[in-house]
């Protein structure tokens, strides 16, 4: 079988999946959790509880703050201690709801049993409403509210649902573990989303370095006799899990600049999102848990873990539970090594999209001295969006915003391939990121004027 | 042989004549009438092309000034009132005088006041740093210390102080063009009136966190207690989002607020150093006991 992959750019970092054999463990509850109001892309949610209220696990504590926004639920049962600004991962202020844990009482109507429910509700609207009310967001990284993506604008038809099991980021294994341990739930979740999208075909894309996941998912689909779902093996290549790259790999279609996946008839959802959809629709359980990998190149093999955690648990609690910061760790990163962010505030709370705590040694995080661009063009070869990072870098230095827009800096997916491939150690992505934000701002204000 | 040379010369000369005629006619037809005053105004401009006036350069400013009916909206902060007097004289407009301003750095998060909580090893640029995270201290509002303002200044008026890690403005060189204020991603630098004899009072902090959090991150932070606003007789001080702001148009430089500030976030500049007041005689213990 020919393995699929995207057509342009990409790099091949060592996958370093040290924690792949570690089964998912349930993380015990801490004394206190901090639930952020900005756990999703779009407007922050608005808290609807008051200080002193008793909340049950799974109870709504915040309402969406706009069209692109999501419900937030309490991950634990306990008393609301405070509602106010707290520093997030990057050290910026965000409204958090602080809940002191008391017992573990779940809200009514939530099915906590392990029994697999395969019967899918018939009504499309009911399913969408449940997904929205359970606060399901895309867990692949962007945390885009799932109900918005699953409800294409009128006139747009979904021709293929792609379940993203690529997990192309090195080190991360949380998606891999859930695809092995909870493959049937994910398959049903995919079937539910298929139903919502009027029965379009579904492809589960998994990279070739995860054969166990491919087998588990294929077995689950044939066991459940699901129609129109197939597993496709993808070549190992970063950033395969990028939305546009995955569409290119699976459907051989390319999303135009500024376009959305639905323009080419594709809807992409992460494997973890499929699991969250299953839990929301079949079990009535809101998105209050997720899987997270604790790993790193300076972490001994017996200390690698995959945890099922309640959202809102502070990172410091998980770090302590997993045995503290290992010797030789120079940086703690939340997310993968390519796109993740260095943790500036270790007391920050986990959010819906948290996927890992990664300890990297000094050797692998070392920034080498920048030298001159020799125009070798490796960054342009590596860019999966077909941009020319060396040129963008020059335009940024010249402050040429129009030139940057002409060269489509706004299409950058911030995957870091340019920085990874540069032999002169030029921090290309670091410079492009603020320029992209500036250009997007210019485009937005221009559209408002119109 | 000679005929070839002669013909060549004749043809080339003929071509030259015809083409120059064409060029002359085109130039005469499409002549752009430009006001000669634009050139005159441009001559008296400082010629820094800094963009502080809001136009692309000095020529663009001159063009706009000539076309405008008065000088209300066109002011060159670099040249100041002197240049504007000359411009007004050329154009025959009324002189619009403005109080001279200076760039003020509103952060006192020195290495001592604001301990570093993490190490930043990325690109040395405030813009890049601000796009990544809140900075290497506990204060997400304060100076990032990478010197984007130093780079933006065309007059060499800003330097980084290695001891404090904060930018320092050289008042004699600062022209208040505002390039540094635009370059600062944290909006710390503000243009304020220079004040009489350069005397100014300002709040050297923009931290919007609640008092306890701000204080924990930086000992010199404004905690938004509002004591300064209470003592101010001019109602020049407003406290919004847990940070005080002194309106320089209302401030009468009485310095009452400076003494009130519990964290020393209110700074004074260029005030003459007064001789210390004679300390009150300590009350003798015996007298207290007698009374």
pLDDT, tens digit (0-9, with 9 covering 90-100), for B225-265? 999 999 999 899 999 999 999 999 999 898 889 999 999 99
Q: What is the mean pLDDT of chain B?
A: 88
- Beta-carbon separation of A91 and B138 below 8 A: yes
Q: Where are the beta strands (DSSP E) in A283-336?
A: 289-296, 305-310, 329-334
Query: What pTM does this model have?
Result: 0.85
Tens-digit pLDDT profile for chain A (450 aa)? 568 899 889 999 998 999 999 999 999 999 999 999 999 998 999 999 999 999 999 999 999 998 899 999 999 999 999 999 899 998 888 999 999 999 999 999 899 998 999 888 888 999 999 999 999 999 988 899 999 999 988 889 999 999 999 999 999 999 999 999 999 999 999 999 999 998 899 999 999 999 999 999 999 999 999 989 999 999 999 999 999 999 999 999 999 988 899 999 999 999 999 999 999 999 999 999 999 999 999 999 889 999 999 999 999 999 999 999 999 899 999 999 999 989 988 999 999 999 999 999 998 888 889 999 999 999 999 999 999 999 999 999 998 999 999 999 999 999 999 999 999 999 999 999 999 999 999 999 999 887
- For residues A312 and A353, what is the distance between their CA atoms, to the nearest angstrom? 11
Q: Where are the beta strands (DSSP E) in chain B?
A: 101-105, 158-161, 166-169, 189-193, 200-203, 237-240, 243-246, 266-269
Question: What are the residues facing B240 on neighbouring strands?
Answer: B243
pLDDT score for B291: 42
Chain B segment 205-224 residues within 8 A of A by beta carbon are: 208-210, 213
Which residues from chain B sit within 8 angstroms of residue A367, using beta carbons? 121-122
Question: What are the residues facing B239 on neighbouring strands?
Answer: B244
Of A85, A91, A367, the CB nearest to B133: A91
- Beta-carbon separation of A93 and B118 below 8 A: no
Q: Of B105, B101, B103, give the one whose Cα is nearest residue B188.
A: B105
* Helix or strand run (H / E) with residue A128: helix A124-133
Q: Is the pLDDT of residue B62 over 70?
A: yes
- For residues A96 and B170, what is the distance between their CA atoms, to the nearest angstrom? 42
Of B121, B135, B210, the CB nearest to A91: B135
Whether B200 and B252 have beta carbons less than 8 Å apart is answered as no
ipTM over 0.90: no
pLDDT score for B276: 66
Of A92, A427, A430, the CB nearest to B140: A92
pLDDT score for B288: 47
Q: Is the pLDDT of residue B164 over 70?
A: yes
Q: Of A153, A160, A212, give the one whose Cα is nearest residue A183.
A: A212
Tell me the nearest-neighbour CA distance from B92 into chain A, angstroms: 37
User: B interface mutation test: which of A419, A430, A432, A441 has the most B CBs within 10 A?
Assistant: A430
Tell me the nearest-neighbour CA distance from B50 into chain A, angstroms: 14
- Write out pLDDT tens, residues B98-108: 888 999 999 99
- Write out pLDDT tens, residues B262-287: 999 999 988 887 766 665 555 554 54
Of B121, B127, B210, the CB nearest to A367: B121
pLDDT score for A28: 94
Among chain B residues, CA nearest to A362: B121
Q: How many CB atoms lie within 10 A of CB B270?
A: 12
Of B123, B127, B208, the CB nearest to A427: B123
Average pLDDT, integer, range B82-93: 88
Q: Is the pLDDT of residue B19 over 90?
A: yes
Q: Is B140 on the interface with A (CB under 8 A)?
A: yes
pLDDT score for B266: 93
Residue A295: strand, helix, or coil: strand
- Write out pLDDT tens, residues A282-311: 999 999 999 999 999 999 988 999 999 999
Tell me the nearest-neighbour CA distance from A333 into chain B, angstroms: 13
Tell me the nearest-neighbour CA distance from A377 into chain B, angstroms: 21
């Amino acid at each position: 079988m020919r393995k699929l992959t995207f057509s342009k750019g990409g790099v091949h970092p060592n996958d370093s999946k040290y924690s792949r054999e570690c089964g998912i463990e349930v993380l015990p509850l801490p004394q206190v959790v901090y639930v952020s109001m900005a756990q999703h892309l779009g407007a922050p949610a608005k808290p609807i509880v008051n200080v002193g209220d008793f909340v049950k696990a799974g109870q709504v504590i915040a309402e969406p703050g706009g069209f692109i926004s999501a419900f937030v639920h309490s991950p634990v049962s306990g008393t609301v201690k405070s509602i106010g600004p707290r520093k997030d991962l990057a050290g910026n202020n965000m409204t958090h709801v602080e809940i002191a844990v008391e017992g573990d009482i779940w809200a009514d109507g939530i099915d906590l049993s392990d029994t697999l429910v395969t019967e899918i509700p018939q009504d499309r609207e009911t399913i969408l409403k449940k997904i929205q009310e359970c606060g399901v967001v895309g867990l692949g990284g962007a945390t885009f509210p799932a109900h918005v993506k699953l409800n294409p604008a009128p006139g747009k038809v979904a021709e293929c649902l792609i379940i993203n099991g690529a997990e192309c980021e090195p080190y991360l294994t949380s998606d891999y573990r859930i695809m092995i341990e909870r493959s049937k739930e994910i398959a049903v979740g995919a079937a539910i989303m298929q139903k919502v999208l009027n029965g379009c075909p579904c492809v589960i894309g998994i990279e070739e370095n995860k054969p166990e996941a491919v087998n588990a998912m294929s077995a689950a689909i044939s066991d459940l006799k699901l129609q129109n779902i197939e597993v496709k093996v993808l070549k190992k290549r970063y950033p395969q899990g990028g939305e546009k790259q995955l569409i290119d790999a699976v459907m051989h279609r390319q999303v135009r600049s500024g376009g959305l996946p639905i323009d080419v008839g594709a809807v992409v959802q992460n494997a973890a999102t499929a699991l969250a959809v299953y839990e929301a629709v079949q079990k009535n359980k809101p998105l209050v848990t997720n899987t997270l990998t604790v790993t790193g190149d300076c972490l001994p093999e017996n200390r690698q873990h995959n945890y099922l955690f309640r959202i809102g648990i502070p990172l410091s609690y998980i770090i302590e539970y997993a045995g503290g910061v290992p010797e030789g760790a120079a940086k703690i990163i939340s997310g993968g090594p390519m796109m993740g962010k260095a943790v500036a505030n270790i007391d920050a709370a986990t959010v819906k999209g948290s996927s890992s705590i990664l300890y990297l040694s000094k050797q692998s995080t070392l920034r080498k001295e920048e030298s001159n661009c020799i125009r070798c063009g490796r960054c342009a070869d590596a860019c999966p969006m077909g941009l020319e990072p060396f040129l963008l870098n020059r335009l940024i230095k010249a402050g040429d915003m129009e030139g940057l827009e002409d060269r489509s800096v706004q299409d950058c997916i911030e995957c870091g391939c340019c920085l990874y491939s540069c032999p002169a150690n030029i921090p290309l992505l670091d410079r492009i990121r603020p320029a992209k934000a500036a250009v997007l701002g210019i485009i937005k204000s221009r559209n408002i004027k119109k | 042989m000679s005929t070839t040379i002669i013909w060549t010369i004749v043809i080339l000369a003929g071509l030259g004549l015809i083409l120059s005629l064409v060029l002359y006619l085109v130039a005469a037809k499409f002549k752009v009438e430009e006001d000669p005053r634009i050139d005159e105004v441009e001559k008296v401009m400082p010629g820094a092309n800094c963009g502080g006036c809001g136009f692309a350069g000095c020529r663009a400013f001159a063009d706009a000034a000539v076309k405008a009916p008065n000088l209300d909206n066109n002011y060159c902060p670099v040249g100041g009132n002197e240049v504007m007097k000359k411009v007004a004289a050329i154009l025959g407009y009324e002189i619009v005088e403005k109080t001279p301003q200076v760039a003020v750095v509103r952060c006192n998060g020195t290495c001592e006041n604001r301990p570093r909580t993490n190490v930043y090893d990325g690109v040395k640029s405030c813009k890049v740093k601000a796009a990544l995270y809140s900075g290497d201290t506990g204060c997400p509002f304060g100076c990032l210390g990478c010197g984007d303002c130093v780079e933006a200044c065309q007059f060499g008026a800003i330097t980084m102080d290695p001891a404090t890690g904060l930018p320092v403005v050289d008042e004699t060189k600062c022209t208040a063009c505002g390039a540094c204020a635009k370059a600062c991603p944290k909006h710390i630098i503000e243009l304020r009136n220079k004040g009489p004899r350069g005397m100014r009072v300002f709040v050297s902090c923009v931290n919007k966190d609640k008092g306890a959090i701000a204080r924990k991150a930086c000992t010199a932070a404004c905690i938004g207690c509002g004591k300064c606003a209470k003592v101010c007789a001019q109602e020049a001080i407003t406290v919004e989002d847990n940070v005080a702001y002194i309106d320089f148009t209302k401030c009468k430089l009485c310095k009452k607020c400076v003494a009130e500030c519990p964290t020393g976030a209110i700074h004074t500049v260029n005030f003459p150093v007064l001789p210390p007041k004679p300390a009150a005689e300590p009350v003798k213990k015996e007298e207290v006991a007698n009374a």
